Homo-oligomer: A and B are copies of this chain.
């Protein structure tokens, strides 16, 4: 008997400041991507994950792509800030700071499959979203500059020469991203501490003057 003709009452809710709501939606987006990859990106799924209705996404972000890009910003900036905080917290020597950067990169907080899964999906999205691409360029530049400073200080302190610090930073960051990727796709391939050791060995190669050899075009 469907005769109980009571209209279900409109759901109650509490207002939230736009910035807070935006962040909640971004975090729900990250969880959705974590669970189902790029297939988890849809207004309905994200709204359900955040416990709100879809219209709220339109209201705060317009189109869904803007929310995804914002979620990328949140994650990306959080990552760089956290790694830099760990670096700043280390003793003020070039060696200790670089070591802190490496250790943070392979610590449980970041070298975590659930985190890296999201990261890898974003990489695939950046290529087709100008909005996300510009964020990535900015963040990438931030990472490079940080690494470059660490390397310059180390070289000055220990008295060795780096032929091109920008390129060296690109290589270091590439090694880091590549290890993140490889471990994320294949966690049994190596252990986090082995990944950190591989980064240290790259630095050791730098110490021993490897960067002065085999320059492009030589």
Contact = CB atoms under 8 A, between A and B. Distances in A.
Contacts of A170: 179, 182, 189-190, 198
State the number of copies, please.
2
A107 to B, nearest CB: 14
Interface stretch (A9-17, A79-87, A123-131): A123-131
A36 B197 CA distance: 38
A133 B198 CA distance: 25
Nearest to A132: B185
A175 B175 contact: yes
Interface residues of A, number: 59
Contacts of A171: 175, 179, 198, 201-202
Interface of A: 36-39, 117, 120-128, 133, 136-137, 140, 144, 167, 170-171, 173-179, 181-182, 184-186, 189-191, 193-194, 196-198, 200-211, 213-217
